[in-house]
Structure 1
C-alpha cells in the first residue's frame, strides 16, 4: 500500500471514528495528541513535583514514612482532571496512561530519580475489577516511568486481598493491622532493601497508598517513593 492511499484511509477512519480529547471530549485536531491544546493549557499542574513539601507527606504524616513523592496534577471534583481520570479508568484509554507516565518520567529523570529507583510497582487491582476493566489504569503510567528511570517494572509483587473499597480506611484511627492486611507482597526477596517507586492514579485520603506502603514496609522495603497522576487539592 502506497503512502498516499494509507493516509487517505487513515483520514477516512478518523472521520468515522474521531479521536476525542480525554478532558473535554472535543474532536482532536490532526496534530493534537490525546489532550486538546485548550485543555493542555488549562491543566492544573502540581507546582512542586518532588520536593519535601509535597502534599502526600502531609496526608500520610504519622502513618507511613515516604522518602520522596511526585504528582503531575491537582485534582478537584467536577474539574478537568476528574474528566481525565474518568477517561483513563472507564474508557480504556491505555495510550493516555503511557503518555502521562512519559510526561512525569521525563521530569523525574531530570531530577535524578534514575539513581534512586530500582523497581516500579503499581497499586494493584483486584482480579475481579481487572476482569471488568480489562487493564490496570496505572500500568502504562508505571511502565513509562520505569523506562525513563531505567528501572524494572513489576506488577506481580504487590497483591490485593479484598475487592472492597477503601471507604473502611477513611477513619484514620483504623487499626494498623486491618489496613495492612488489605494488601500483601508475594516474593519478598524481590523488594527487600530495594528502592521502590509505588505508582497510582489519584490520591484523596491516602488510604490505599497507606495500605500498600505498610505491606511493602513489612516485606523489607526501607526506601519507599510514591508517584501519582494527581492529588486532591
Structure 2
C-alpha cells in the first residue's frame, strides 16, 4: 500500500496531471481543475433562484421541487472540455471532484439540502459496459460525499437503448427518451425526496422521462441537479 503514492509521483514526472478545463499542468494541491479555471468557470448560481432558466425550461412538463446546474455549457469552452473528458476519456474522477464542490454549495440550500437520497440518470447496460462507468453516477458520488446523502446508483434502470441525443431537437429527444426508464425498487423510494442527477441539461427530455418514472408514485418528490446547463 505504501508503494502507490510513490508510483503516482514517479508517473507524474513523465505525465504530469493536466487541468480538465484548460489543459495546463496542475500545481500541487489542485484537484482536476487549476485555480485559474476554478475562478473563471461560468457558474450559473441557479440554486439562488427558484425561477432560473433551467427550472423554467421544465415548467409544465413535470412537477419538480427544484432545478439547478453548476455550470453553463457552451462550445467551445472550458466546461465543454470538462464534460468531454468526463464522458468520453475515462475520467470519472472529474465527476466526483465537481460533485464534491457543488455539494458544498448545495448543503445549505433548500430544497436540495432537504433531499433524502441521490439517484443518477442511468445508462443502458450495453453503454455502461462499453464506457465502464456512468458519468452521472460519478457526479452523484461527489454530491453524496459533501451533502451526506446516500447514493442509490441503481435506483432507475434504462430498459431499452436510445440513440445518441447529441444532434436531436427537443421533441426528438423526448420521443427518444419516452418510456425508457423504470424504477427498480418502488418501495425503497416511496415517500422520498430524490435528487435526480445528470451531466448536462440540454432540452430536459432525459430528466423529464426519469422524473416521470419516479413521480409515478405520488408520495415521491424530485429535484434535479446537473453538472451543466447548455446554452
Aligned to 2:170: 170
Q: Greater shift after overlay, 145-154 or 211-220?
A: 145-154
Q: Which residues in structure 2 correspond to 1:127-206 (within 5 Å)?
A: 127-165=125-163, 167=165, 170-171=170-171, 179-206=177-204
Q: Is the 8 A contact 2:21 2:79 kept in 1?
A: yes
Q: Greater shift after overlay, 11-20 or 81-90?
A: 11-20
Q: Greater shift after overlay, 33-42 or 95-104?
A: 33-42
> Displacement, 1:141?
1.7
Distance 1:73 1:6, change over 3 A: closer
Distance 1:218 1:50, change over 3 A: farther
Name the SS for the 1:120 alignment partner: strand
Q: Is the 8 A contact 2:116 2:193 kept in 1?
A: yes
Q: Which residues in structure 2 correspond to 1:74-85 (within 5 Å)?
A: 74-85=72-83
Name the SS for the 2:215 alignment partner: helix
Query: Distance between the aligned counterparts of 1:227 and 1:92, measured in 2?
Result: 22
Q: Greater shift after overlay, 221-230 or 163-172?
A: 163-172
Distance 1:87 1:232, change over 3 A: same
| CA distances 1:48-82 after superposition (whole Å, capped 9, x unpaired) | 32431122221112111111122110111212111
Name the SS for the 2:65 alignment partner: coil
> Displacement, 1:88?
0.6
TM-score, scaled relative to structure 2: 0.88
Of the candidates 22, 32, 35, which is equivalent to residue 34 of structure 1?
32
Aligned to 1:47: 45
Distance 1:26 1:61, change over 3 A: same
Q: Is the 8 A contact 1:170 1:207 kept in 2?
A: yes
Distance 1:27 1:189, change over 3 A: same
TM-score, scaled relative to structure 1: 0.87
- Tell me how large the CA RMSD over aligned residues is: 2.6
> Displacement, 1:221?
4.8
Q: Is the 8 A contact 1:50 1:68 kept in 2?
A: no
Gaps of 5+ in 2: none
Q: Greater shift after overlay, 84-93 or 21-30?
A: 21-30
Name the SS for the 2:47 alignment partner: coil
> Displacement, 1:22?
0.6
Q: Is the 8 A contact 2:201 2:228 kept in 1?
A: yes
Paired residues in the alignment total 229
Q: Is the 8 A contact 1:122 1:200 kept in 2?
A: yes
Query: Distance between the aligned counterparts of 1:115 and 1:10, measured in 2?
Result: 36
